[in-house]
Chain A
Amino acid sequence: MLMIEDIRFTKEHEWIIIKDGLAVIGISDFAQRELGDIVSIELPRVGSRFGYMQAMAIIDSVKTSSDIYSPLDGEVVEINEELLEHPEWINQSPYESGWIVKMKPSNMQAEEFNSLMTTEQYNKFIGEMKKEKE
């Protein structure tokens, strides 16, 4: 069983934390700022399976709609249903009450998890994105 407590990020701005063998997944603070006011979310069903970087949820902000990708191969075991009534929690608290799904990794090796970006790597990644924009 994986026992990694720290956080990793995808290039699509999802975050993932492994806790008690489950992957908790949400979107980064940078992502929620870019999207602006989030007004609805479509969540996957508990029990559905997704492959690495397969679209599994959709977030609508006032300005745009975006897919949320699964950062790993696995099965959805819990969804944050409160977001259906309070999608703004993703803006207000992207790493805590704004979590989106919990997944059971089908076969996640530490290596695979570590291939995602650390906080430091992610900050550098978004720093470069911001520079490109300017």
Chain B
Amino acid sequence: MKTPFYDIHKLFGAKMLSFYGWEMPLQYSGIVAEHINTRANVGLFDVSHMGRFEVKGSKAFDCLQTLVTNDISKLNDNQALYSPICHDNGGIIDDLIVYMINRQKFLVVVNASNREKDLEWIVKHSKSAVIENISDKTALLALQGPLAKKVLAKAVIGVNLDQLKPFDIAVTNIFGIECIISRTGYTGEDGFEIFFDSSEIDIWDKLMQVGSRFNIKPAGLGARDTLRLEAGLMLYGNDINENITPLEVPLKWTVKFDKKEFIGKEALLTQQINRKLVGFEILEKRIARHGNEVLMNGQKVGFVTSGSFSPTMKKSIGFCFVPMHVLPNQLIEISIGDKLYKAKVNSTRFYRRK
């Protein structure tokens, strides 16, 4: 499958990869350069492979409030929130963002890997809300980095971007074309995500043009992964899946037990938690990968869910499951190939923007 920007990626010299069936740019100039430019200036990401559903009608609110573990009753119009959706047993089906345009109209953005599964799940629990899959008729770009606001200010007229707080939405125009802008992202930087009709691919070139004086560079999925890892953000399929609950990973804050009901509440209330996801830094120069074993005193105690090189800190970092008693700065060992490497336990959040 291809996003509307496939030809543009090729034109920009992207090295492509297949990501859950999507032909996506892995990198253009290089993962490290794209990562550093997004932290220093601004990066433009095509994330049109993600699923986008509208949930509409008088039952839309009830439908979504029952599905998500977070509490959408706290949203005002034009605000968004992040939440897992879970099975009855608490296992995470997906993590997503719910955008409330108003009480009768929501936009839900889900992982590319879970598009079909999520749509089926939401339709099954629709409570007669109207669900429309708008993934193919819309495109989604992410503009991320400290200079993202300056770039977008050149493209959007009539919206005061300073008043658009994190997770706020504006239904507006970009270069005169209808769009939705949200102050959200997956990089740990300030930034925006822009939804618009999939025929309007010129928006990419126009953003590159107005962004050129701010050093805008396209960035691929490779940089997106290292950016989110440094920022402590979960990646579905790597760090979370249906056998993991939000209480075992740093997503406790998204589970609102004071809500009357949501799918998975009973199971999560009574779950015995005996592992937790932490960050780690390998003290030697090797990179851990998903699935590597974690050991303490020669005993296997957990496994790596994500590992990569941190371009910001120039260190080998990652996330892994460990028993509950493990504390920050404690030493663990990670098995890579046939050798053990010492690592130090850290919070999952390695990077915090100033």
Which residues of chain B are within 8 angstroms of A62 by Cβ–Cβ distance?
A: 31-32, 222, 226, 287, 308-309, 311
Interface pick from A22-30, A34-42, A109-117: A34-42
Binary contact readout A38-78 vs B (1 if CB under 8 angstroms, 0 otherwise): 01111000000000000000101011010000000000000
Residue pair B287, A39 in contact (C-beta under 8 Å):
yes
Q: A42-B286, A62-B226, A62-B308 are in contact. Are A37 and B316 (CB under 8 A)?
A: no
> Is B30 an interface residue, CB under 8 A from the partner?
yes
Q: A62-B309, A65-B287, A65-B289 are in contact. Are A36 and B316 (CB under 8 A)?
A: no
**In angstroms, how far is the closest chain B Cβ from the Cβ of A31?**
14
The number of residue pairs between A and B whose CB atoms lie closer than 8 Å in the complex comes to 49
Q: Give 3 nearest A-B pairs by CB, closest first.
A: A40-B285, A39-B309, A60-B287
Across the two chains, which residue of chain A brings its CB closest to B336?
Answer: A65
Please measure, in the bound complex, the distance between the C-alpha atom of A37 and the C-alpha atom of B32, giving whole angstroms: 7
Q: Which of B68-101 contact A (CB under 8 A)?
A: none
Residue pair A36, B286 in contact (C-beta under 8 Å):
no
Across the two chains, which residue of chain B brings its CB closest to A87?
Answer: B285
Across the two chains, which residue of chain A brings its CB closest to B27?
Answer: A36
> Is A2 an interface residue, CB under 8 A from the partner?
no
Which residues of chain B are within 8 angstroms of A84 by Cβ–Cβ distance?
A: 285
Across the two chains, which residue of chain B brings its CB closest to A58?
Answer: B337
Chain B contact residue count (CB 8 A cutoff): 19
Which residues of chain B are within 8 angstroms of A39 by Cβ–Cβ distance?
A: 32, 285, 287, 309, 316
Task: Pick the contact of B309: A41, A42, A60 (CB < 8 A).
Answer: A60
> Is B26 an interface residue, CB under 8 A from the partner?
yes
Please measure, in the bound complex, the distance between the C-alpha atom of A37 and the C-alpha atom of B308, giving whole angstroms: 12
Binary contact readout A73-106 vs B (1 if CB under 8 angstroms, 0 otherwise): 0000000000010000000000000000000000
Question: Can you list 23 A-B contacts with CB-CB less than 8 angstroms, sorted by A residue number?
Answer: A36-B27, A36-B30, A36-B31, A39-B32, A39-B285, A39-B287, A40-B285, A40-B286, A40-B287, A40-B309, A42-B286, A58-B337, A60-B285, A60-B309, A60-B316, A62-B287, A62-B308, A62-B309, A62-B311, A63-B31, A63-B222, A65-B287, A65-B337
Task: Pick the contact of B26: A41, A58, A63, A65 (CB < 8 A).
Answer: A63
Please measure, in the bound complex, the distance between the C-alpha atom of A41 and the C-alpha atom of B316, giving whole angstroms: 12
Residue pair A37, B30 in contact (C-beta under 8 Å):
yes
> With contacts A36-B222, A39-B287, A40-B316 known, what are 17 further pairs, Cβ within 8 A?
A36-B27, A37-B31, A39-B309, A39-B316, A40-B286, A40-B309, A58-B337, A60-B287, A60-B309, A60-B316, A62-B226, A62-B308, A63-B222, A63-B308, A65-B289, A65-B336, A65-B337
Which residues of chain B are within 8 angstroms of A58 by Cβ–Cβ distance?
A: 286, 337
Please measure, in the bound complex, the distance between the C-alpha atom of A40 and the C-alpha atom of B288, giving whole angstroms: 12
Which residues of chain B are within 8 angstroms of A65 by Cβ–Cβ distance?
A: 286-287, 289, 336-337
Please measure, in the bound complex, the distance between the C-alpha atom of A37 and the C-alpha atom of B316, giving whole angstroms: 14
